[in-house]
Structure 1
Amino acid sequence: MCEYVIFEAQRSNGKYNKYIKDWYPEAKGVVMSRIDYYISIDQKIDAAQQIQATINSLHIDRALTANTFFWIDVQNGQHWGSNTAANVQFIEDMVNAGNTAMAGLFSGAGANFGIQTSKSMWKRITGDNRDAFFGGLRLWYVDWTGNGDMSDFKRFGPWYQPSLKQYQGNVGMCFTHVNYDSY
């Protein structure tokens, strides 16, 4: 049984996922205890502009609460430049702008942000950044072993333990593809 879902709110072209307005009420209707969003990025568009537009669209579609959690996808290398310092700044800008946007909508509440990545992608994209800024964010690590047990986690970046693990990807289900995660 699925009690927790993470929808892609923003696609890798920087555009809002228009299907959220249909998916969110359906997920709420089957008593999902938690609905989070992940954000695929487009470095050609300003980080703040992307997250603000996505948060505003979620708000318009009534798919946002003060407790909404966002995961920034720091994985697909083709969407990130080779300048690791610029990549780190982009992520920080997105988190900071997201917190500001949420505080404006929900009287002072900030958004909760985390990072979705693997050890190899974090190293490639950020140079294995260990800044305290990132240590304050939760980690959803990707390790497609087929095993949901998180005992295989090895420290990387600033993280000593993960919050979630994506252990299998692109599984065909109900006319779509899903990823399996454990928490």
Structure 2
Amino acid sequence: MRFLILSAFVAACLATDGWDGIQAVSVSGFQCLANSGYHFFIARVWTSTGNYDNTGIQNIKNAKAAGWAYADGYIFPCLKSSCAAPESQVEATVNKLKSEGAAYGMLWLDIERLEWPADTTHNRNFINAMANKLNSMGVNWGIYTNYNNWAAIVGADWTQWSSKPLWWATYDGKKDNSDFKPFGGWTKVAIHQWAGDVSGPCGVSMDLNYY
């Protein structure tokens, strides 16, 4: 599994720096970022408006063409009543990545407060539908969230998917996991998004991540 391979890589290197962002980056841009010390990238591949993020999908392909071993994608689910069913959003994303030849390691479900209703049972069912579809399609996946988002959307004590890796979003300015406190059944962090909207090297605006 790609996640386990990356874990072994990180164990050997102690830690590694990565980024996520939504602007278009060329192959040469990814080469520049690699030379600047970045080793993994996570692209938005589905948007909260209910469609593919073609820029993000192309970025995965560009990262791979630049020699990056580790490129993931994240799904920002569409929650409006006019949106496709949660499992359909996941299926469309996975099939699009395959048809485009965008080779990713993992997909992450972006669970943050944007248009989620107050009904935590509804929200749990929505996430379950996405998660079960990912499992049925054989996708390696994890969850992007933090305590405040998880507590508001599904309740901090909901542990249904705590066996999946956690991409922890907390802008504490610390490139470590020292501020992490368990929630949702998670007792450790896979990736820490520790700063956002940073003017990074190579003309790229990025969120900073630590693995």
TM-score band by shorter chain is: 0.7 to 0.9
Counterparts of residues 144-163 of structure 1 (less than 5 Å): 144-163=171-190
State the Cα RMSD in Å: 1.5
Structure 2 distance, partners of 1:92, 1:34, is 26
Q: Deviations over 1:79-106 (max 9, x none)?
A: 3111111111111110111222x3xxxx
Counterparts of residues 11-160 of structure 1 (less than 5 Å): 11-44=47-80, 45=83, 46-64=85-103, 68-75=105-112, 77-100=113-136, 102=137, 110-131=138-159, 133-160=160-187
The runs of 5 or more residues in structure 2 that have no matched partner are 1-36
Task: Give the drift of 1:175.
Answer: 4.8
Structure 1 distance, partners of 2:135, 2:142, is 12
Q: Helix, strand or coil for the counterpart of 1:134? A: coil
Give the conservation status (yes or no) of the 8 Å contact 1:12–1:79: no
Task: Give the drift of 1:167.
Answer: 0.3
Identity %: 30
Give the conservation status (yes or no) of the 8 Å contact 2:116–2:123: yes
Structure with larger RCO (C-alpha < 8 A, sep 6+): 2
- TM-score normalized with structure 2 length: 0.76
- TM-score normalized with structure 1 length: 0.87
Task: Give the drift of 1:130.
Answer: 2.8
Q: Which residue of 2 aligns with 1:107?
A: none
The letter for the 2-side match of 1:51 is V
Structure 1 distance, partners of 2:192, 2:66, is 23
Counterpart selection for 1:165 from 147, 169, 192: 192
The runs of 5 or more residues in structure 1 that have no matched partner are 103-109
